[in-house]
Structure 1
Amino acid sequence: MTLTSPLRHPDTRDAALMTRRAWWLLGLNLLIPGTAQLLAGSRRWGRFAVGSTFTLWAVALAAGILFVAARPVALTIATNVIVLWLAQAALVFYALLWLVTTLNAFTLLRLVRTAPAARGWLAALTAVTIVVATGGAAYAAYLTGVGRDALGAVFAGGGIVEPIDGRYTVLLLGGDAGPDRLGLRPDSITLASIDASSGAVSLIGIPRNLYNAPVPPESPLYEAWPNGFDCGDDCLISYLYPWAEERPELYPTAAATGSSPGIEAMRDAVEGVTGLTVQFTVLIDMAGFEDLIDALGGVVIDVEEPITLGINGGPVVGEIAAGEQRMDGETALWYARSRYNLTDFDRMEHQRDVQEAMLRQLDPATVLTRFESIAGASSDLVRTDVPQSMIGVFTDLAVRGRELPLRRLELVPPTIDNVQPDYALARTLVAEAVAPLPTPTPTPDS
C-alpha cells in the first residue's frame, strides 16, 4: 500500500480512518488549495490549483523582497492603476479558486462514512474556510478596487518628478466656501518643503490676510499686478483664488492638469512670497476635513491653553481643555477654525498643529486598518495635481521623516507684518527653514 492510497482509495468501512482522512483533506486544502484534489480527486485540477497558489505566493514574496530592498519602487508599482487592476483580478480569481477547491474537497470527504460525532465539526471547518479564506481574498480584492478608484479620483496623471535643489514642495490649501462668501477662498495656506533624501519636512505658514503678494514676472498675473496684488483690503492673498477663478483664460490648461485657475494663481503668489518653486498643489475641502480625521481615528494634539469654541460676536458652543487631547473630526475642525477671542495668526498655529498631528499619526498600520474609510474620505475632499506615480516616493519619504523634527515657520507679525510685508526678509527666513538639517558630528571614541 502506498502512502497516498488511504487518501485516494480509503477503506470506506473504517469510520475512524475516514474521519482522519477528512480532517487531513480539509486541513491541507485550507493551507494550500488544490492539495485535496492532488491526493484524493482530480490530479489535473489539483496541479492547476496548487500551481496557481504557489505562483501567487511567489509574487507576494517577490513584492515583499522588493519592498525591503527598494521601498519607493515597490510603492510606486503597487499604486499603479494597471497593477492594481491585475492585483484585483488575481485576488478575485484566487477567491473563486479557493471556494471551488473547498467545496470539491468537501465532496471528497464522503461525509456519511465519517464518524457521526465529527460530521458537524467537518462541516463547520468547511464553512470557516469559505468565510475566512475565500471571504478574505474577496475582501482584499474589494479593498484593492476601492484603493484604485480613490487614487484615480484624487491624483493626476504623469510620471516621476525630480526634486528641485534636493527638495519637493507641496502647496496645501484649505478651501473654505462658507454661505457668507462669494466663491471659495483658501482659509489655510501652507507650503510643505520635503527633503528628498531624509523625508524631513518644513511647514511654512502664510497668512490668508497677507497684503501685496508679489507674483513672478513669468506669471499670467504679472500683467495685471506687476507691483504685486496691491489693491488694498480687497487684495489679500486669499482673494487671488476667486479673482483668478473669474478669469479662466489666464490659466487655460489648468483643468487638464488636475488644477484650476484659482489654485494656479495661489501657486504663483506663494512662489513670489517664498522664493521657492511650487511643484505640487493640494486643495482640501475644509467642510469635509472632519471626515478624514474621523477616518484616521482622530488626532492627538497637545493643547497649550483652553480653547473657547465659537465665532467672535456669536454664541459659545463649547471648549477644548488644555493638555493632550484626542480629537475627532468635528473637534479638530473647531480647533483649527475657532475665532472666539483669537486672531487669524492664532488660528494658523492651530491649523499647523492639526497638520503636524496628521503627519505624525498617519502611519502604515493606521492606513491598513482604516484603508476603506480613509480612501472614501480622501476622494471626497482632496483635489491635487500630484501624479499618481509620485505616491510611492512621497509615502516612502513620509515613513522616513516621521521621526525627524518637523520645522515650522509662520510668516506672521511681529516677524513679518502682514499689511506691509518685508518680502526680502520672508524669503531669507524661508531659505533658512528649508536648509538641510545639520549632520550630527560623530563623537570620537575615548
Structure 2
Amino acid sequence: MPDAISSSAHTADRSAAVRFRRALTLTAMTLVMPGSAQVVAGNRRVGRLAIRVWLTVIALAVAAVIVYLFSRATLFTLLTDGWVMRPLRLLLIVGAVAWAGLLIDAWRLGAPHDLRRGHRAVVAGLNGALCIGVAATMILASQTVSAQQKLIGSVTGSGAASKAAEGTAADGRYNVLLLGGDSGKGRVGLRPDSINVASIDAETGRTVLVGLPRNLQNVPFPEGTVMHEQFPDGFSCETDCYLNGVNTWANDHADLFDTKHPGMDATVEAVEETTGLDIGYYAIINMNGFANLVDALGGVTLDVKERTAIGGIGAPVTGYIKEGRRHLTGRQVTWYARSRVDNDDYSRMGRQKCIMTEMLGQLSPQKVLTKLDAIADSAESFFETSIPQGDVGAFLDLALKARKEKVSSVSIVPPQVNTSDPDFDKVRRMVQQAVAKSEGTYSSNGVRNATLSPLAKPKITVEGADPRKDPRRANQSDDLEKAC
C-alpha cells in the first residue's frame, strides 16, 4: 500500500510538472511568435492571422535593415515622413493591445486552474510581467514616433523636398546658413548676432564652418535683387549698417519686396555674395529658448578656455563660468555663447563654434531618442528651419557622417580681414581654400585649378595669456575638436 501511494504521488508530481512546462511553453511561444500558442492549443484562425502579421513585421524589419545598409538616407526619409509616421503610431498602439491580449489568452490556454498554487503564481507573474513589458515598450515607441512627428512638424519648412532628399547637391555640398540671436522685450524680431554657414560635403559629411562677424560692413548683394538696387555699393548707411542689420532693414522696408520673409531672404543674399557659397537652407536659433534644449539633453561638457561672464549685456554680471573642462547647464551654455564682457565679438565667435562642435560629438542618436519628448517640447520655442520635412532624412544621414569627421573652421575676422573695410575677393578666397582643404583638393599652388595664391594662417596672440586658452583659435582651424 505505501508503494502504491508513493507511485501515485510521483505520477501526480510528474503530471503537475508537465502542465507547468506546457503553460510556460505557451507563454514563451506567444512572446517569440505571437499567435503560435493559439495555432497549437486555441483558436487557430486567430493564431494564423497573428502569425501572418508577425511575419510581415519581420519581413519589413529585414527590408529596413537592407535599405539601411545600401541607402541610409532613404530609410531616414521614410521614417520621418508624416504619411509613414501617422499609421506607424496607430499600428504600434494596436499591436501593443493585440500582443498583450494574445499573452493573456496563452495564460488561459495553459489551464491555470489545473496548476498547483506555486506553479500558478509563477505563470501568472511571468505572463503579467510580459504583458506589461510588451505593451509598455510598444506604447513608448508610439510616443517616440509622436514626439518625432511633433518635432519635425514644428521646426521644418513647408516647401517640397529638394535635391537633398535625392542625395544630390550643388557642387557636391549642402550649404546651410545658421543664425543665432535674441528676441524678446525691447527688440523687434530676432537680431542675428551669430552668423555661420555650415558647408557640408554630401558624400563624407566633412563640414566647414564659415564664421561671419555681425559687424561686417559694406556687405554686397547679388545684382538684380532689391537690396542691390538700394545699396549698389554695399550695405552702408549712417549708423549700424552691419551684416546683422540686413534682416531688420529689409523687414522694415517689406513693401519693397515680393516675398513673405524679406529679412531672411536679404540676409541669405548678403551671405551668398560675401562668401561665394550657394545657400540652400537656413536655420534660426533663438538663444532665449536654446537653454531649454541643452537642459533637455542633460547639459553639455565644454573645455572653457577663458573665464566668461554671466550677464552683463544690458544687465549686471551675476557670475562667471570658470576655466577648465566643465559640464554646463542650458543657462551657462547660453551665456558662454553670447557673452562679450571682458572679451570681444571674435572671442565669442570662437566659443560658439566650439559649442556647435561639442554638441555634434556628444549628441548620439540613442541620447536624442531617449530625450525626444523634451526636445520636441522645447524646439518650437527656439528653433526654426527652412529645411523641408522631405529633406530631414538626408540631413540625419549627413549628421551621422559628420560626427565621424573633422570639422574645420574659417572666420572672416581680423587680422585677416578688416571688418570695417573688407576685401570681399579675399573673403571668398578664404572660403574657397577652407572648403578645398576639407575636400583634400587644396595645394600650395591654389584651389581646384584656380590661380589663387594661398593665404597664411593668422597667428593668435593674446598679451599675457596662454595662446592655447584663447577661444579665438577656433575661428581658424583645420580640426575644431583640437582647437576647442
TM-score, length-scaled by structure 1: 0.90
Matched, 1:135 2:121: no
Q: How does 1:223-372 map to 2 (within 5 A)?
A: 223-254=229-260, 260-311=261-312, 315-372=316-373
SS in 1 for 2:283: strand
Conserved? CA contact 1:155–1:385, under 8 Å: yes
SS in 1 for 2:219: coil
**2:441 & 2:39 partners in 1: Cα distance?**
60
**1:410 & 1:142 partners in 2: Cα distance?**
42
Conserved? CA contact 1:202–1:407, under 8 Å: yes
Q: How does 1:23-422 map to 2 (within 5 A)?
A: 23-156=24-157, 157-161=159-163, 162-254=168-260, 260-311=261-312, 315-422=316-423
Query: Per-residue displacement from partner, 1:364-389 (whole Å, max 9, x unpaired)?
Result: 22222322222333233211111222
Instruction: Report how far residue 250 of structure 1 moved.
Output: 4.3
Aligned residues: 426
Instruction: Report how far residue 170 of structure 1 moved.
Output: 0.2
Instruction: Report how far residue 178 of structure 1 moved.
Output: 4.0
**1:399 & 1:164 partners in 2: Cα distance?**
21
Query: Per-residue displacement from partner, 1:228-263 (whole Å, max 9, x unpaired)?
Result: 211032311111112222333444443xxxxx2221
Conserved? CA contact 1:154–1:382, under 8 Å: yes
**2:31 & 2:290 partners in 1: Cα distance?**
43
Query: Per-residue displacement from partner, 1:26-64 (whole Å, max 9, x unpaired)?
Result: 121122221221111100001111111111111111101
Conserved? CA contact 2:177–2:197, under 8 Å: yes
Conserved? CA contact 2:100–2:132, under 8 Å: no
**2:233 & 2:152 partners in 1: Cα distance?**
40
SS in 1 for 2:229: coil
Instruction: Report how far residue 113 of structure 1 moved.
Output: 0.9
SS in 2 for 1:341: coil
Identify if the C-alpha distance between structure 1 residues 71 and 313 changes in structure 2 by more than 3 Å, giving closer, same or farther. Answer: closer
Query: Per-residue displacement from partner, 1:371-417 (whole Å, max 9, x unpaired)?
Result: 22223332332111112222222222222222322111111122112
**1:356 & 1:233 partners in 2: Cα distance?**
34
**1:124 & 1:102 partners in 2: Cα distance?**
12
Task: Point out where structure 2 has 5 or more consecutive residues left out of the alignment.
Answer: 1-11, 443-484
Task: Point out where structure 1 has 5 or more consecutive residues left out of the alignment.
Answer: 1-10, 255-259, 441-446
**2:131 & 2:254 partners in 1: Cα distance?**
55
State which drifts further: 291-300 or 424-433.
291-300
| Paired AA for residue 396 in structure 1 | D
SS in 1 for 2:124: helix
**2:412 & 2:184 partners in 1: Cα distance?**
25
Instruction: Report how far residue 290 of structure 1 moved.
Output: 1.1
Identify if the C-alpha distance between structure 1 residues 121 and 172 changes in structure 2 by more than 3 Å, giving closer, same or farther. Answer: same
Identify if the C-alpha distance between structure 1 residues 396 and 250 changes in structure 2 by more than 3 Å, giving closer, same or farther. Answer: farther
| Paired AA for residue 24 in structure 1 | T
| Paired AA for residue 279 in structure 1 | G
SS in 1 for 2:239: helix
Percent identity, please: 37
Conserved? CA contact 1:309–1:339, under 8 Å: no
Identify if the C-alpha distance between structure 1 residues 237 and 373 changes in structure 2 by more than 3 Å, giving closer, same or farther. Answer: same
**2:406 & 2:238 partners in 1: Cα distance?**
38
Identify if the C-alpha distance between structure 1 residues 250 and 277 changes in structure 2 by more than 3 Å, giving closer, same or farther. Answer: farther
**2:216 & 2:228 partners in 1: Cα distance?**
18
Instruction: Report how far residue 314 of structure 1 moved.
Output: 5.0
SS in 2 for 1:179: coil
TM-score, length-scaled by structure 2: 0.83
Which of 440, 452, 472 is the equivalent residue of 1:438?
A: 440
**1:310 & 1:92 partners in 2: Cα distance?**
47
